[in-house]
Chain A
């Protein structure tokens, strides 16, 4: 086949995907919500008048011109905590989702391509890790860490959340391995690593991207749970810590809705947006699912 024709075909395929991506309402809504919160996380802290943990003013104040989201029982600025907390949530999602996807890919590719006893051993580990609840493992690790930061939290979450990615990637690698084009590459003398990178991985790119989105959301939720149980960052702010403090200091009984609603609402919307994007992308990549 002449080179030019292949290029043309690739180009057309890309345009087609973009066309369906822009037409997909779910994907667009998800994307807009996500970008909105991302902008708040990036630019929000520039409008902060007080440090998030400073005792800035009188406590127990509902939202006003001075304190946009009111103050906590101790007079901390809820807005400042919220925007900085949003930043740590995105950071945890990025790190946790990234590490989990990466480890899952490595284990999945290796096990699926090698087969034999490496596969057996890796899948045994994966199955064991899948049964042990991620958060139980996180609890026991985090409880013994004297200093915990957002970065460490994200990495630990990633290191415990990879198993289901690994399993799915392994299954796909396994089936792709038996296709003709992979056999052809093998016969023509390509090394395993380059076969995985050049032949197998590109065929899973869309899938990997979707996995990353789900892992991103899962990491944010795991971090919130961890913070709430009392294993959040030792110094710093996060949305989970905000809710932990709110419950600890009776914000529910005191009806301080401005303290309890924003952090959870932001997380719910961010994670829903990620789910929307995931389903939308699924429809974009998979012609069978496109709405007629």
Chain B
């Protein structure tokens, strides 16, 4: 078990180093000088240009040798210095991300967990029920093929505009300030529901299909057949099958994280929901490179942490990993 965890941790650390390195190297590999590009956009504010130029040259460390620039980049990172945003000048990038992060977590974590649980339950329920399965399976395929952002658009058009039940932009009404009052919490949930729903529904399809296929596979495994011939009740066999089918679904969660994060980013843009996705969109439209780089790092950090949590969960639910030392990554 410790070997398994150690291997995982080494991979995650390496991944983080690679991600930071990419974050540093890609802007330098690309054609053109980003500083001049940035400066030219602020030409209308001459008193700030000089200050900014000094800051950017220092931040990019253009006058230093490359290895020193790389070292400085890491140093700044450990001091929490991700640069200064151009969009919301002169706010530090870290502050902007810190403001956005809670909205992201409150939206994505419940959507991921709930859809995983409901999808698995339903997939297991529908498997091997011929009539239901024939109807439901194509629906799941269409649902899981839907781009998150389009479902978001559809929902906000149908439920938000045509029926006018839900608000379609922001995380809370303009008239309200964030506070711990019932009024705010209700308003927040009201805004939260549609983006949550679009994330929840698209993921649901994938989990249901995965679980259905796994259950069918498990019900044909030798142990199920054996139990069957022994006269065990079908409910018991299904329970064993479900337990075994759950393991690949946990791994699947780790594999799908990247796609889900992408979905969350685009969904936030549809609903102008003030999470990292919305921030990133603003940063890209304004060519705010520091902010883009900062968002990139936080997305990767989030995915790494989630992967790590899944690995720990896996140790607890899979006796083979818990007991044996081995296991490939």
Contact = CB atoms under 8 A, between A and B. Distances in A.
Nearest to A274: B145
Contacts of A140: 22-23, 26, 292-293, 296
B32 interface: yes
Contact of A128 (B15, B138, B156): B15
Interface residues of B, number: 62
Interface in B267-316: 269-270, 277, 280-281, 284-285, 287, 289, 292-293, 295-296, 299-300, 303-304, 307
B153 A130 contact: no
A127 interface: yes
Interface size class of A (residues with CB under 8 A): 35 or more
A137 B22 CA distance: 9
Contacts of B29: 144
B160 to A, nearest CB: 7
B30 A144 contact: yes
Contact of B147 (A143, A221, A275): A221
A247 B255 CA distance: 30
A40 interface: no
Given A131-B303, A131-B307, A246 B153 contact: yes
A255 B149 contact: no
Interface in B153-195: 153-154, 156-157, 160-162, 168
B212 to A, nearest CB: 11
A144 B160 CA distance: 36
B3 to A, nearest CB: 15
Contacts of B249: none
Interface string B140-157: 011011111111011011
A271 B287 CA distance: 31
Q: DSSP class of B's interface residues: helix, strand, loop or mixed?
A: helix
Interface in B10-32: 11-12, 14-15, 18-19, 22-23, 26-27, 29-32
A276 B141 contact: yes
A292 to B, nearest CB: 11
Contacts of B141: 272, 275-276, 279
Name which of B18, B266, B284 has the most chain A CB atoms within 10 A of its CB. B266
A132 B19 contact: yes
A252 B161 contact: yes
Interface stretch (B46-54, B105-113, B256-264): B256-264
Contact of B284 (A130, A222, A230, A264): A230
Given A124-B11, A243-B150, A141 B144 contact: no
B280 A253 contact: no
A255 B15 contact: no
Given A247-B270, A252-B156, A260-B157, A132 B15 contact: yes
A167 to B, nearest CB: 10
A279 B137 CA distance: 11
B258 to A, nearest CB: 3
A261 interface: yes
Nearest to B168: A252
Contact of B262 (A135, A252, A260, A269): A135
A230 B285 contact: yes
A222 B34 CA distance: 26
Name which of B150, B157, B162, B289 has the most chain A CB atoms within 10 A of its CB. B150
A211 interface: no
B284 A143 contact: yes
A212 B147 CA distance: 19
B145 A268 contact: yes
B262 A222 contact: yes
B40 interface: no
Interface string A62-99: 00000000000000000000000000000000000000
Interface of B: 11-12, 14-15, 18-19, 22-23, 26-27, 29-32, 34, 138, 141-142, 144-151, 153-154, 156-157, 160-162, 168, 255, 257-259, 261-263, 265-266, 269-270, 277, 280-281, 284-285, 287, 289, 292-293, 295-296, 299-300, 303-304, 307, 329
Per CB-CB distance, the 6 closest pairs between chain A and chain B, nearest first, are: A264-B150, A133-B258, A271-B145, A144-B30, A272-B145, A135-B262
